[in-house]
Amino acid sequence: MTEERRIENFEEFWPFYVREHAKRDTRRLHFVGTTVAMGCLAAGLLAKKPGLLALVPLVGYGPAWIAHFFVENNRPASFKYPGWSFKADLVMWSKMVRGRMDEEVSRVVGTSDPQPSNSISG
Q: What is the pLDDT of residues 27-67, one digit of tens each?
A: 999 999 999 999 999 999 999 999 999 999 999 999 999 99
Residue 75: other Cβ atoms inside 10 A: 12
Q: Who contacts 117 (Cβ-Cβ below 8 Å, separation ≥6)?
A: 24, 102
Is residue 5 assigned to a domain? no
Is residue 80 assigned to a domain? yes
Q: What is the mean pLDDT of residues 4-29?
A: 94
Phi-psi region of 76 (alpha: psi -120 to 50; beta: other; left: phi over 0): beta
| Number of alpha helices (DSSP H) and beta strands (DSSP E) in the chain | 5, 0
- pTM (predicted TM-score): 0.84
Q: What is the pLDDT of residues 58-115, one digit of tens each?
A: 999 999 999 999 999 999 999 999 999 999 999 999 999 999 999 999 999 986 554 4
Is residue 51 assigned to a domain? yes
Q: Could you tell me the pLDDT band of residue 118, with boundaries at 50, 70 and 90?
A: very low
Is residue 93 assigned to a domain? yes
Tally of CA atoms within 13 A in the half-sphere of 62 that contains its CB: 10
Is residue 117 assigned to a domain? no
Is residue 3 assigned to a domain? no
Reference 106, options 26, 37, 15, 32; nearest CA is 15
Is residue 101 assigned to a domain? yes
Is residue 118 assigned to a domain? no
Predicted pLDDT at 26 = 97
Range of the domain at 92: 15-107
